[in-house]
Every structure is written in structure tokens, then in C-alpha cells.
Amino acid sequence: MKIKMDDSVKELKAVWMDEKKVNMIDQRYLPSELKFFIAEDFKDIHSAIKNMVVRGAPTIGVTAAYGMAQAIIMDEDTRKAAEIIRSARPTAYDLFHAVDYMLDNITRPKEAAEEYASSVVEKCRKIGENGAKLIEDGYDILTHCNAGALATVDHGTALAPIRASARDGKDIHVYVDETRPRLQGARLTAWELYNEDISHSVIVDNASGYYMQRGDIDIVIVGTDRIVSNGDIANKIGTYEKAVVAKENDIPFYVAAPVTTYDELMEKGNDIPIESRDDDEVRMINGSLITPKRSPVKNPAFDVTPAKYITGYITEKGIFSPSERKEMF
């Protein structure tokens, strides 16, 4: 991804491995500071995933692969390491896929981890190529949360078609949901689009319906942390609302994801484990209390969007409708 630094522009990935150390952009500090987190071992990897130093299903998967490589190289108990890394976050399927991949390639850890990371980046590049076919010159696009290079090591899933369209010279504008409570849209997606010089506006979450009703949105593209057998998806909390409102206003709603996000063993969306996060994510902003101290809080990190609200899935293999989902995999 492009990052403006002082008077230069650099190309960086969200996470990479040097020797035995894993380096990652610490997404908790963006957009105000560009800081890096260095994981010395698989326990640091678990902490980085759990505490959202890195987030986004593909980046979580690559980080987990590197963590498993560390455990194997350092002659740790790999089964224990796998169990600990898997426990970091329950919803993103790429995390489990990456750990299993490394267990299947235990004799060549560093090589296997790099292959896994490269495959994720290449899949996202192809997602961009395929998804760009849906975006016409002059389009206004709505996205939710962050499904860009930060979430996928490079390129992105939902942002990959947007990046590809901008490179093709298309005149586009992106409406960026702020995405409460952690503001991944306002903080991360807007930061990526700024660095790429792509026209965008940050909007509050509750404004997306207003712009859809006015006819200001041509297409909605989001990422996902898991697609299950019947085509339902789990994505950042608030995605379901966008899908329902998009359908009501005849706006196409697309889900961009690599095929590794597909969990064929899980039958329907209601079976997906939904992570509940700390109350203070809702109660506090920058250390300041914004709710009554004793008011109870509920903080689900994800919701489920049924397949009936989804126009299609943008994958590295092409674009598929819900009725064609089995062909994707």
C-alpha cells in the first residue's frame, strides 16, 4: 500500500516477517501516528490479533501463519501454539485456515508462511481486477469498516476494486462509514484512501441510509470475515443494516473476499460465533467517558447478513451470485 511519509511515498505491507521477528503496522495508532509492533514469538502474535494491533480476516490469517512459523522455528509445542493463536478471535475463518495450513506444512515453516502471505496478496489483486468491472466511471461507492490493505496485507478486498478503478482512471467517490465503536472506517479506510489520493467522504454510520435513499450511492462493497455454506456472511457490526437498506433502494450489494473465507462446514449464518468485545470500546472515546458510568453496554463485533440481501460475491475466481456460490469453491 502507498503511505505518504514526509516528502516521499513508500510502499509497505500491513505485516511481514524478518528472520524470526514479525513486523506489523500497529493499526491502533492510525491515523494520527504510524507505529510498528514487533512480535518476538507466537504469544506476541496472539496478543497482537486479540488486541487488534492487526485486524481484518486475511491479515489476521497471515499474522497467524507467521506466528506458527515462529513457534515451529523456535521448537515450541506447535499444538499448544496453534490452540493459543486460534483462541485470539473466534469469528474470522482465515485465522483457523492459516493455522491448519501451517500444521500441514510443518517441515518448512518460513517458506510456507511466505507462500501463504503471497497467496493472500495475489488473491486480493485478482479481487481488485474482477471487482473493478462492476464500477463505472462516475460511480459513488459506499463501504463499511476497513477492508483495505491494512486488513489484507496489501490491495484489500472491498477496497481492491476501488484501487483498481482509480488506477484505471475512473472518476469515483467513496462514502466511508465511520464504523463505531472502533471507527475503522473513519480511522483506517479514510487513511488508506487519502494515501492513494482517492476521492472520499467520511460519514456517520446512520447517514448511509440517507445517501442511499437520495440516490447518491451506486454500489455497496464490503468485506467479510466468514461466508458459510448457505451464503450468509459475518462482517463488522452494521453490515446487515447496509444490506437491507441497499436492497430496499435497489442498490447492488457486493461482498468481496478470497475463497479461503468460505466455511463449507458451517451451514447457516446463525451458527457463526459472534465475538463480544469489551464494554469500554463503547463507553469511552480517547479515554473520555461518553455514557453514564453505570449504564449497561452490549458490544457485538459482528453481525450476520443473509444471502438474500447479497447481489454477489467478488472473489479471485470471479464474481458469483448467491445461487452460484457453490461454484466459487
Nearest to 125 by CA among 92, 163, 96: 163
Tell me the CA distances in angstroms from 326 to 135, 229, 320, one per residue in order. Answer: 25, 8, 9
Whether residue 140 lies in the annotated active site = no
Helix axes 109-132, 57-73, angle to 10 degrees: 170
What is the bridge-based pairing of β-strands 284-285 and 262-263? unpaired
Question: Which position has the grid cell 448511509?
Answer: 208
| DSSP per-residue string spanning 250-261 | T--EEEE--GGG
Q: Are 150 and 174 in contact (CB under 8 A)?
A: no
Can you name the residues that pair with 262 across neighbouring β-strands?
A: 227
Q: Are 161 and 134 in contact (CB under 8 A)?
A: yes
Neighbours of 193 (CB within 10 A): 23
Task: State phi, psi for 218 to the nearest 5 degrees.
Answer: -95, -30
Distance CA 166, CA 198 (A): 7
Q: Are 221 and 314 in contact (CB under 8 A)?
A: yes
Nearest to 52 by CA among 10, 14, 81, 2: 14
Q: How far is CA 19 from the centre of its chain?
A: 26
Cell numbers placing 48: 497482537
- Catalytic, out of 26, 177, 225, 232: 225
327 burial level (CB within 10 Å; 0-12, 13-18, 19+): exposed
Which residues carry out catalysis? 225
